Amino acid sequence: MVKDGIYLGKRYEVLSKIGAGGMADVYKGKDHMLNRYVAIKVLKKEYKEDDNFVRKFRSEAQAAAGLMNPNIVNVYDVGEDRGLYYMVMELVEGITLKDYIEKKGRLSHKEVISIAIQMCTGIGAAHNAHIIHRDIKPQNIIISRDGKVKVTDFGIAKATTSNTISSNAMGSVHYTSPEQARGGFSDAKSDVYSIGITLFEMATGEVPFDGESTVAVAIKHLQEEITPPSEIVPDIPYSLEQIILKCTQKNAERRYGSTTELIQDLKRSLVDPDGDFVVIPPLRNADTVIITDEELDDIRSSYDDEDEYDEDDYEYDDDEYDDDEYDDEYGDGEYDEDEYDDEYDEDGGGAKRGRKGKNSDEVNPRMNKIMKILTIVVVVIIVFILIFTIGKAAGIFKFGPNINTEETDTGKVKVPDIVGMTEDDAKAALKKKGLGMKVVARKESKKYEKGTVSEQKTEAGKKVKKNSTVEVVVSSDLVGDEITVPDVSGMSEDDAQRALEDEGLKVGSSEFVYDDNVAEGDVIGTTPSANAKVTKDTEIIMKVSKGAERKTVPDIRGMSESAARDALSNAGLTVGTVTYDYNDSVEKGNVVSQSLNGGKKVSKGTTVDFAVSNGKKPEEKISVPGVAGVSENNARQLISNAGLSVGTVTYQANNNVGAGLVVSCDPGVGSSVSKGTKINLVISTGPQQQPPTESPDGGETE
């Protein structure tokens, strides 16, 4: 949690926390440069070291930064300060649409339409800028105190110029489109589906699909028709129900082609609630999607691997928002009926046809739903019988007490995406994963040049056992107008995308990898590679650098030398100079200090020096200097210079040593003693005096 009062980017003061989401916290702040209040979104501490979350966070900023629209929460700035990734946004004081629905139970049809028009206006602005939101839900719609509806949280949005993208990114599962749930293409019509689910919840107070798990809900989006809202709310206007049903068609081609078309029908529904003007394209193919068991496994895996963040990014005080405030503003409808009577006349093909269509098979899917469910049941039974028969014959299904019906992930690897690679590069990529490759066919391709993998039988991302063989189809020749892939390495991602599109090529989602030699955000290369021959239908994947891989220096203090070396090596760092010295507080053989502090982020391969303890320093021994025969003063000086001290000094006569000279010392000369030891001295007073003797005559003699 960021402390109140700190400054980010030397400009934005954090005032107080106002909300929390799955991957970020939101604070009220003040921009002291422009003197305005803002919302500051800060990536949570537990995710700032996760490159995937940092990329999603930056993606949100990049996706929303260029969108200036009154129905979008505008992004002003994005940056990093002291390891905190933050985004500065427009501060909107109000309530989320999710909270508003929960407070009111369900909304009136005029409220639904009025909110939806503003919501679609904001989303349409994003679509016009080639941005697909991909996470439309009531939690990401904010109603301000003055009734303005704003779309926020472009956290998994994706910029595109072809209006379609291939991605497995999932929004909240209750609002996700069938194509997103299946991991396929998502485009503007995917957002339209999510808008339809949001309209359904506004009108009925509940979501159309629910279940015990995300997988269960995702499968319902794929296989089940939504319950017509009129079965839950009998008085819902017919036109609004048809709008919801059109938005939520399983087949994207049967939905609204754009938010502009949707807004037109919403406006007309205000003035002609029971009109039969909503046209749902005829059913050509099976509308309910039937998926195989293998695809179900892939969907389950994608949900297991996906980082979900369904929590609201804003929390507001409900007491500050009046339930009736929005009703008062929009309750009577703010649109002029005459404006639309002229626009939708009989000559324009939009005349009222009454409610006769409400009971038709075309617009009421209940009978189709029953037939489709029966069809699915029959197909599933047939498939099950076939699988069981073949599996039993092959010995796959064995019955007995030790049967194991689940296969663990032990020893499994994810199959890399090798489509677009040369045959040799594909083999090398698979070999790195411990997989083999088998070419099962060589066919002409409309996308890939000769010798390039045009199809892989085992889908990229699927988990398989190591040493498995991946079957591929290799292009035998490129059919169609050839385009040479330009060399965009070294360019920024945006410049590279423009360069590729200028050549008429289709650019897919980028792949981000670390590279020590290419600056962050610049392109390393493409698949297919530069100068390869392709057609306009070929999807080009750019490999974009995340910069030099950053590694965290481990704290090796107190570790043994061998453990420290292993820790640095495992962290991707290089062991530098190792020095050894005595240390009284660290056990011998353990690390005393390191040149880079633990926790610091450095480039991969950075050298780290450290010092190892030799244990406590041994006591220093000093040899007693030769003081015998020198004067007392000189002896004292010699002892002091040696780091010793003079102890007891005694004086005694000595016939062999002159007066004032050292006779001996204790400890003796040459003895090994500790520093500071006291040396006792014996100083000569000269020859011993002899007592006088008496002469024979009684006198003294010498």
For residues 624 and 644, is the Cβ–Cβ distance under 8 A? yes
For residues 193 and 200, is the Cβ–Cβ distance under 8 A? no
- Spatial distance between the Cα atoms of 458 and 463, rounded to a whole number of angstroms: 9
Owner of token pair 């629905």: 101
Catalytic residue among 135, 187, 265, 276: 135
- Spatial distance between the Cα atoms of 695 and 178, rounded to a whole number of angstroms: 143
| Angle separating helix axes 97-104 and 323-330, nearest 10 degrees | 100
Spell out the SS3 assignment of 192-237. HHHHHHHHHHHHHCCCCCCCCCHHHHHHHHHHCCCCCHHHCCCCCC
For residues 10 and 77, is the Cβ–Cβ distance under 8 A? no
For residues 605 and 548, is the Cβ–Cβ distance under 8 A? no
Q: In what order do the strands lie in the sheet with 141-144?
A: 94-96, 141-144, 149-151
* Among the listed residues 694, 685, 687, 554, the one whose alpha carbon sits nearest the alpha carbon of residue 632: 685
* DSSP per position, 234-273: TTS-HHHHHHHHHHT-SSGGGS-SSHHHHHHHHHHHHH-T
Catalytic: 135?
Answer: yes
Owner of token pair 């073949």: 390
For residues 485 and 528, is the Cβ–Cβ distance under 8 A? yes
3-state secondary structure of 185: strand
- Spatial distance between the Cα atoms of 27 and 7, rounded to a whole number of angstroms: 12
3-state secondary structure of 510: coil
Task: Please state, as a whole number, how many other Cβ atoms lie within 10 Å of the Cβ of residue 671.
Answer: 14
* Among the listed residues 456, 446, 504, the one whose alpha carbon sits nearest the alpha carbon of residue 478: 446
Q: Which secondary structure element, helix H or strand E, spans residue 523, and what is its range?
A: strand 523-527
Q: What's the Rg (C-alpha) of the chain?
A: 41
Task: Please state, as a whole number, how many other Cβ atoms lie within 10 Å of the Cβ of residue 536.
Answer: 14
| Angle separating helix axes 109-128 and 188-204, nearest 10 degrees | 160
Alpha helix stretches (DSSP H) within 401-474: 423-432
Q: Tokens representing 457?
A: 């039988």
Active site residues: 135
